Structure 1
Amino acid sequence: MKLKTSHILLIAVVGAVLGAAVGLWRGGSSPLLRTEAGQRALQGALSATAPAPPQDLPVARRGETVPTVRLPDLDGATVEVPGAYAGRPLLVNFWASWCGPCIEEMPELNRYAAGQNAGGKAGDGTQVVGIALDDADAVREFLARIPVDYPVLIDRAGPRDSSVQLGNPRGVLPYSVLISADGRLLKQKVGPFQSGEIDGWATERD
């Protein structure tokens, strides 16, 4: 029986997604995934093989205004994203305390966040925000051992979570997005940042 071209392409896409997922879970990141073209290809493949989000769920698309999400911080206060940080570019990083690659990239995120709030950049640099798709107590316990200097919010992983709303239909972690000062989705990244990578990623535009 001959396979149609569309079936062959689907098999290739699924294979690419599985291969990339295995690489991410092992904590590695291929050079291709560190390029914008590679990221676009991976995100396209993930979207093509993901179940459709709920019809009433607003989902961000590149170049468009992101939907508002309201989440609790570690003290239980509700924070509106991106509204609470309006006027500044925003790097949102989705993670979990059980995710090895997420933990490995946290020092890089913390370094970048500190640099964006130092000297003359205070109030103007990119604001880093972590959103943990995790149990709040587990996150508090983790951050008590390995603290970070940027805000951390809490969400529950699922088909309606904030990472899905910001363009992560398969819920792959870690996942990061760059949002402009006026609230538009500029860039997406599946997988961990390598040392020194964020600076270029956050400033380069397509």
Structure 2
Amino acid sequence: MKKQTRNILRITIISSIVILVGVTLWFNLTSDIQAIQVGDEAVDFQLETLDGGTVQLSDINEDKGVILNFWGTWCEPCREEMPDMNEVYNEGHDDYELIAVNVSEGEQQINQFLASLDDELSYPIALDRNRDVTKVYQIGPLPTTIAIDKNGVVVDKQEYQLTKDDIHRFVELSTSE
């Protein structure tokens, strides 16, 4: 490749990156939507589940705390935290519900991912096909987990992978009055 062509290509790539970063910053700084923060009222939603049912936050949250775990099949930290979540969930979940919210992937892809896990997950998988819930909760990196107490208030939010201790803390916070 000629030196002049390489320079033009480099300048084009660098210019494109600068423009994309600028547009992203502009949208983030001028957005009227504020991210759901700890202390905010949880936003209600209804999603279809992988098994064909539906899950509505307000129905569950009437008498239970809720833990929302946003994840994707391509996300290695998501894969790594799921067995711990399943183990904690199977210890007992009378006072809370754990909902794994898949972010806009197809059922076949999700089922292939779940089949590759060592154990079958006991908690419901909700399908956020259009990313509506993901947008409302302003979810960035995956996994992101949100704890909602029995009063419908967000009591914790953590981006990235949870440890087993983190999961127990989320359960404790979501079941507190």
* Alpha-carbon spacing, 1:53–1:111, altered in 2? closer, same or farther (3 Å): farther
* Counterpart position of 1:192: 161
Give the equivalent residue in structure 1 for 2:115.
144
Asked whether the 8 Å contact 2:67–2:170 carries over to 1, the reply is no
**1:189: Cα distance to partner?**
0.3
Q: Partner of 2:88 in structure 1?
A: 112
Name which of 34, 40, 47 aligns with 1:64: 40
TM-score by length of 2: 0.70
Within 1, Cα distance between the matches of 2:148 and 2:30? 21
Greater C-alpha radius of gyration: 2
Match of 2:55 in 1: 79
Look up the equivalent residue of 1:71 and give its one-letter code: L
Residue 112 of structure 1 deviates from its aligned partner by 1.4
Structure 1 length-normalised TM: 0.61
Alignment check: 8 A CA contact 1:59 1:66 kept? no
Root-mean-square deviation (Å): 2.8
Cα-to-partner distance string for 1:45-97 (whole Å, 9 max, x where unaligned):
xxx99726975x78533222211111110133332124334211111101111
Aligned residue type for 1:110: N
Cα deviation per residue 1:92-151 (whole Å; 9 max; x = unaligned)? 10111111110000011111111233xxxxx22x21110011222211222234220101
Alignment CA distance shift 1:112-1:81 (3 Å): same
Query: Which of 90, 106, 128 does residue 135 from structure 1 map onto?
Result: 106
SS of match in other structure, 2:91: helix
Q: Between Structure 1 and Structure 2, how many residues are aligned? A: 147
Provide the residue aligned with 1:28 in structure 2: none
